[in-house]
Amino acid sequence: MKKNYAWLQWMIALGYAAMLLGALDPMEGSVVILAGAALMALGTYIDPEERSRLRPRLYVLVLIALGIGSLWGLTYLGGVGGTSGRSMWWGTAILPYLAGWSWGTWAKGTPRWVSWAGALAGMFFIAIPFLAMRAGRAQFVAILVVVGVTGLVTVVGCVRRLWLDTHPPAAAVSVGTQSAAA
What is the tens place of the pLDDT at every residue in 139-170?
A: 778 888 999 999 999 999 999 999 999 988 87
Torsional class of 81: left (φ above 0), alpha (ψ -120 to 50), beta (otherwise) = left
Q: What pTM did the predictor assign?
A: 0.85
pLDDT at 1 over 50: no
Q: Is the dihedral of CA 111, 95, 120, 21 positive or negative?
A: positive
With a CB cutoff of 8 Å and minimum separation 6, the contacts of 29 are: 21, 22, 23
CA distance 26 to 81: 19
- Distance, CA of 179 to CA of 182 (rounded, Å): 5
pLDDT digits (tens, 9 = 90+) for 34-63: 999 999 999 999 999 899 999 999 999 999
- Cβ neighbours of residue 166 closer than 8 Å, sequence gap 6 or more: none
Please give the backbone phi and psi of residue 108, each rounded to the nearest 5 degrees, phi first. Answer: -60, 135
